[in-house]
């Protein structure tokens, strides 16, 4: 069975395989790599590629991409709900965020800038309220503790003693 792939050449030194979000195979290759070198590399990693492509395709079958209307709905819900949750938890924690933004980030649910501005992904709204509150408290805790050290998690635990269970809700 042949595996279809796209080659992206750059000034890198090594070759790498990547399965994209859309279940496509990418080969990242150095500028100098010949077509034959790339074909050999893919052939030597064919089993890995087939396994990971199948996993991604199965995931996509279970979780079809959202429509534009669904994304717009999530964004509207996020804009309506998250600023209130942030205000509530900020008052409880005694911290002041500089602002709240809603983004379409896919790889993280929230972030806190160096200037205490909070950003939340609209995709966070797909999770239960307990998980959303965990992300809000997590980001607010970064106003006091800029890292993920023991003091940071002690701060989170002070307000959400069950934060580990809430964190687990984000993975399902």
Architecture in CATH for domain 68-169:
2-Layer Sandwich (3.30)
Say what the alpha-carbon torsion angle 60, 63, 66, 70 is, to the nearest 10 degrees: 180
Instruction: Tell me what pLDDT residue 63 has.
Output: 86
Q: Which contacts of 108-113 are long-range, i.e. CB under 8 A and separated by 24 or more positions? A: 109/135, 109/170, 110/135, 110/136, 110/138, 110/139, 111/139, 112/139, 112/140, 112/142, 112/143
Instruction: Please give the structure tokens belonging to residue 33.
Output: 């790599």
pLDDT under 70: residue ranges of the chain = 1
Query: How far is the C-alpha of 147 from the C-alpha of 10, rounded, in Å?
Result: 33
pTM: 0.80
Instruction: Tell me what pLDDT residue 2 has.
Output: 75
Spatial strand order of the sheet with 16-19 comes to 6-10, 25-30, 16-19
Query: How far is the C-alpha of 109 from the C-alpha of 111, rounded, in Å?
Result: 7
Q: Start-end ranges of CATH 3.30.2010.10 in the chain? A: 68-169
Quick: pLDDT tens for 135-149. Answer: 999 999 999 999 999
Instruction: Tell me what pLDDT residue 3 has.
Output: 85
């Amino acid at each position: 069975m042949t595996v279809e792939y796209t080659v992206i050449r750059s000034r890198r030194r090594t070759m790498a395989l990547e399965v994209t979000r859309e279940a496509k195979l990418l080969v990242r290759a150095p500028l100098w790599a010949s077509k034959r070198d790339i074909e050999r590399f893919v052939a030597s990693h064919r089993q890995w590629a087939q396994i990971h492509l199948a996993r991604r395709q199965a995931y996509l079958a279970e979780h079809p991409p959202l429509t534009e209307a669904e994304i717009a709905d999530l964004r509207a819900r996020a804009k309506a709900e998250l600023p209130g949750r942030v205000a509530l938890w900020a008052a409880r924690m005694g911290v002041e965020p500089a602002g709240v933004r809603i983004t379409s980030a896919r790889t993280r649910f929230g972030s806190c800038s160096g200037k205490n501005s909070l950003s939340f992904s609209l995709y966070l709204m797909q999770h239960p309220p307990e998980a959303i509150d965990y992300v809000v408290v997590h980001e607010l805790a970064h106003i006091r503790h800029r890292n993920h050290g023991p003091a940071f998690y002690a701060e989170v635990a002070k307000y959400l003693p069950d934060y580990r269970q809430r964190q687990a809700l984000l993975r399902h």
